[in-house]
Amino acid sequence: EAFNANVTAAKALNAFIVETPEKALEAADAADKAKAAGDSLGALAGVPIGMKDLFCTQGVQTTAASHMLEGFVPTYESTVSGKLWAAGAGMLGKLNLDQFAMGSSNETSYYGNVISPWRRAKTDGGRGDNAALAPGGSSGGSSSAIAARLCPAATGTDTGGSIRQPAAFTGISGIKPTYGRCSRWGIVAFASSLDQAGPMARTVRDNAILLEVMSGFDPKDSTSLDLPVPQWEANLSSDLKGKTVGIPKEYRPDGLNAEISALWDRGIEWLKDAGAQVVEVSLPHTKYALPTYYIIAPAEASSNLARYDGVRYGQRDLPDGAGLQDMYAATRAAGFGPEVKRRIMIGTYVLSAGFYDAYYTQAQKVRALIARDFELAFEKCDLLLTPTAPSASFALGEKQADPLAMYLNDVFTVPASLVGLPAMAIPGGLDSAGLPIGLQVIGKALDEQTVLNASLAIE
C-alpha cells in the first residue's frame, strides 16, 4: 500500500512524458553480467538516467513537449544520449519540459505542468502552505524527478538558464558547460548559438562524472569544440587557495530578495573559508542581458522552428480541400502552444527587413559588449559568484499571465549563456518558507574545473 501511494505521488509530479523502465533494467543487467564476468565497466554502468524529451532517442518518441512532435519517433540517437548509453547508463524515460524548452516554470508543456516535490513550510504572503510549486524551467521534469529521488541524474539543456534555474528551484545541482563542449547533434534546436546540454544531479561529483561522459568533439555539430575532455572528476578539489572570486556588483540590484542576498553573503564566506580571495568586479552591461537574450533567442527560434511545416516531422493538419499554405497554417496553428507562437512572432519581427538593424543587429552588438564585460572582469578574478535566480520557486500559475515577469526570472542566468561561459547552479540552503535557494558559479571559457571545484566548496 505504501509502495502504491509512493507511485501515485511520483506520477502526480508529471515529470515523465514516456517511461522506459525496461531500458534501465537492461543496462542494470548488462552491468551485473559485465561485473560477474570480470569485464571492465563503463563510468555509468547500470545507472538509470532520465532524458529531457528534447534529446532524440532512437525508437522512443521525442516531443520537445509539443503537440507538433507528438508521435515523432527518431530513427537516430543524439550524440550526447548515445555517449551516456555507451558508458553503460540506461534510460528511465523521457522527461517533461517547457515546450521547445521555452519557459522558466515548465508550464508551457503540451503534456501539462510538472510539479515540484517541494512545498512551502510556512505561509508566504497569505498564499497558503500547499500551493503546488513550479520546478523551474525548461528542464522542470529533470529537476523534479531528481529532487523527488525518481532518478539519480538526468540530462538538461540550457539556452538561457534551463539547467541552472530548475536546479536552484528544487535544491539540486547542474552545470552548463562552455558552449561547444557537448554536441548539439540530435537535440531539438531552440536557439543554436545558445543551446548547450549538461547534466543535472544531486552532487557536484555526479555532475563531473556525467559531464565527462557527455562532452567531446563531434564532427556532426559545426560548433563542437575539437578539444580533449579534461578529467574533471579526478581533479575535483574544494581547495581554492590561489583563486580569486569576483562578486559582480550589478547582480545586487536595489530590491533584490533579502534572503537571496543573505545567501550570497554566506556563499562569499564559504569560498573564503576554502582559501579563495574575494574582489568586487563590475559587469556594466548586465542590465541589457535580458532584453538582448529575448531578441536573439526568439530570432534563432523563429528560424529553427520553420522546419515544422507539416511535411517533414510529426503533426500535419490538412483541412478539406486545403492547399499547401493552408496546410502549413493549420499545422502550425494546432502544433505550437501560445509561448512558442509568441517567440516565433517576436523572432520574425526582429528579423524582418524593416526592423533587423534596430533589433537584431543591435542585440548582437550588445552581446559583444557583454562578452567584453566578462573578459575585463576575468582579468581580475578566476570565477564569479552570484545567485542563480532572483527568487525561490513560485506557485504554478502565479506568473503565467505575465510573460515579462516570467522572463525576469532568468536575469542572473542569461548573461553566461550569451557569452557561452561555463556556469553551475549549486544549492545553498532553504529560505524562511523552507524552499531551496541557490548560488551560481560562473567560470572562464573552458574552465569547468574551477567551476566544479568552487561548487564543491559550497556543497
Binding site for ligand GLN (CB under 6 A): 101-104, 137-138, 158-162, 190, 297, 410
Residue 419 makes CB contacts below 8 A (sequence gap 6+) with 367, 370, 371, 374
For residue 236, how many C-alpha atoms fall within 13 Å in the half-sphere facing its CB? 17
Amino acid (1-letter code) at residue 91: M
Distance CA 294, CA 73 (A): 31
Instruction: Name the residue among 434, 433, 339, 393 with its Cα closest to residue 134.
Output: 393
User: Cβ 395 to ligand GLN, closest distance in Å?
Assistant: 17
* Assigned C-alpha cell, 234: 579526478
User: Cβ 297 to ligand GLN, closest distance in Å?
Assistant: 5
Nearer to ligand GLN, 158 or 206 (CB): 158
Sheet holding 436-443, edge to edge: 16-19, 90-95, 48-52, 153-158, 196-201, 173-176, 423-430, 436-443, 383-387, 244-248, 277-281
Q: Which helix (H) or strand (E) holds 269?
A: helix 258-273
Amino acid (1-letter code) at residue 415: P
Q: Which residue is nearest to ligand GLN (CB)?
A: 162
352 is catalytic: no
Q: Determine which one of 52, 83, 176, 444 is catalytic.
A: 52
Beta bridge partners of 442: 384, 423
Nearer to ligand GLN, 409 or 453 (CB): 409
User: Cβ 98 to ligand GLN, closest distance in Å?
Assistant: 7
Nearer to ligand GLN, 195 or 447 (CB): 195
Nearer to ligand GLN, 103 or 152 (CB): 103
User: Cβ 304 to ligand GLN, closest distance in Å?
Assistant: 12
Distance CA 135, CA 106 (A): 7
User: Cβ 368 to ligand GLN, closest distance in Å?
Assistant: 21
Q: Which helix (H) or strand (E) holds 455?
A: helix 448-458
User: Cβ 332 to ligand GLN, closest distance in Å?
Assistant: 19
Distance CA 114, CA 16 (A): 9
Nearer to ligand GLN, 410 or 448 (CB): 410
Distance CA 212, CA 231 (A): 7
Nearer to ligand GLN, 104 or 391 (CB): 104
399 is catalytic: no
Distance CA 236, CA 454 (A): 9
Nearer to ligand GLN, 110 or 190 (CB): 190
* Assigned C-alpha cell, 193: 548559438
215 is catalytic: no
Handedness of CA 400, 331, 18, 77 (dihedral sign): negative
Amino acid (1-letter code) at residue 249: K
User: Cβ 160 to ligand GLN, closest distance in Å?
Assistant: 3
* Assigned C-alpha cell, 75: 530513427
Q: Which helix (H) or strand (E) holds 364?
A: helix 362-377
User: Cβ 159 to ligand GLN, closest distance in Å?
Assistant: 3
Instruction: Name the residue among 52, 12, 11 with its Cα closest to residue 140.
Output: 52
Q: Determine which one of 78, 143, 144, 162 is catalytic.
A: 162
Q: Determine which one of 66, 116, 138, 391 is catalytic.
A: 138
DSSP 57: B
Nearer to ligand GLN, 31 or 101 (CB): 101
Positions marked catalytic: 52, 138, 162
